[in-house]
Amino acid sequence: MNSVVQGIGIGLPEGRLTNSDLERMVETSDEWIVQRTGIKERRIAADHETTSHFATIALNNALEDAGVDPKDLDLIIVGTVTGDMPFPSVSCLVQEAVGATNAGAMDVGAACAGFIYSLATAHGMIVSGHAKLVAVVGADALTKFVDFTDRQTCVLFGDGAGAVILRAEENTDRGLIATSLRSDGSGAKFIHNQYGGSRFPMSRGFEDGASPYIYMAGKETYRFAVKAMGDACCEVLKKAGLSSDQVDLFVPHQANERIIDSATERIGLRPERVYKNVDRFGNMSGASIPVALYEAVQDGRLQEGMVVMTVGFGAGLVWGANLIRW
């Protein structure tokens, strides 16, 4: 028994924020942003657009691509850290919006590794026989939590969602080959958004001194990211008994082009096998990997039967990789 990707879809904001827009907001330059991050523009949610809004569009598209009736879904898992509200979960809002009347629903809070963790969880439910058809969504609207006066963070993030439909299949060589999930909570100090949780509840106002914005220690996060990506990929390849030469396409979390390039070199992958779209979207957190997978399918760079390695890392700290025969 394996879990096979049967359909894929995305949901993106129409709104775009370019580097020249940012030049008018903070002291920065297109040259600096491109050189340090590779990002040229990102999609940005309008005030009325929420994470569940994009997740719903992505899931509807994936259902259509898969030819699946939403009533046949057993479970919806959404990897997100930017819920519409602390509760209920984004997955419940999406369940109602797509009409998945027979599905369970849960969110997985693994930040930029949200899609990696959600897909691995879905796979576990499928191979253990508890579900046959599972929707896995990666969705975030991080720009809602960005301080647009902080030039170090405001240039990095974008919003969006991507979704896949996983189906239980027997006697197939397609599906998840191996997974690696890791965490280190001692790194919570490096990236966080403290406000609005039980430590600093909204009801107490701002006296606590907590910031409502994303905090990130850039250099520490950078170092962690390069190491985490390399380690997770090496581990997942080792578990599968494959070498990096046998990976047809590498789809990493799209946080920063320099991080992707350093990790690619560390793993020993050929640059032409790496999928990058960070220039057009920035870091969309849980949405980065499924949106990149979707584009790779559309471009013909990812085809049925190919081995694709996905890897994510983020606040937690968490990181992980999934090796999939598409």
Ligand X SMILES: CC(C)(COP(=O)(O)OP(=O)(O)OC[C@H]1O[C@@H](n2cnc3c(N)ncnc32)[C@H](O)[C@@H]1OP(=O)(O)O)[C@@H](O)C(=O)NCCC(=O)NCCS
Q: How many CB atoms lie within 10 A of CB 147?
A: 15
Q: Does 219 bind ligand X (CB under 6 A)?
A: yes
| Of 136 and 225, CB closest to ligand X | 225
Q: Which of 17, 66, 225, 237 binds ligand X (CB under 6 A)?
A: 225
Q: Does 112 bind ligand X (CB under 6 A)?
A: yes
Let me know the angle formed at the C-alpha of 309 by 298 and 315, rounded to the nearest 5 degrees: 100
Q: Does 222 bind ligand X (CB under 6 A)?
A: yes
Residue 212 is given by DSSP the state S
Q: Does 148 bind ligand X (CB under 6 A)?
A: no
Buried b (16+ CB within 10 A) or exposed e, 257-296: bbbbebbbeebebeeebbbbbbebbbbbbbbbbbbbbbbb
For residue 31, the minimal CB distance to ligand X (Å) is 9
Q: Which of 7, 187, 314, 320 binds ligand X (CB under 6 A)?
A: 314
CA–CA separation, 88 and 288 (whole Å): 23
Q: Does 214 bind ligand X (CB under 6 A)?
A: no
| Of 37 and 50, CB closest to ligand X | 37
CA–CA separation, 204 and 187 (whole Å): 26
Does residue 119 have a cis bond before it (omega within 30 degrees)? no
The size of the interface with ligand X (CB under 6 A), counted in residues, is 23
CA–CA separation, 100 and 121 (whole Å): 19
Q: Give the side-chain half-sphere CA count within 13 A for 66.
A: 27
Which of the residues are catalytic?
A: 112, 253, 283
The length of the chain is: 326
CA–CA separation, 322 and 326 (whole Å): 11
Q: Does 193 bind ligand X (CB under 6 A)?
A: no
**Applying CB under 6 A, which part among 29-37, 122-130, 238-246, 289-297 lies near ligand X?**
29-37
For residue 130, the minimal CB distance to ligand X (Å) is 31
Q: Does 35 bind ligand X (CB under 6 A)?
A: no
Amino acid at 26: V
Cross-strand bridge partners of residue 318:
183, 314
| Of 146 and 165, CB closest to ligand X | 146
Q: Which two tokens stand for residue 269?
A: 């992958």
Q: Which of 152, 246, 298, 303 binds ligand X (CB under 6 A)?
A: 152
Q: Which of 221, 254, 262, 264 binds ligand X (CB under 6 A)?
A: 221
Interacting residues with ligand X (CB under 6 A): 28, 32-33, 36-37, 112, 151-152, 155-156, 191, 216, 218-219, 221-222, 225, 255-256, 259, 283, 313-314
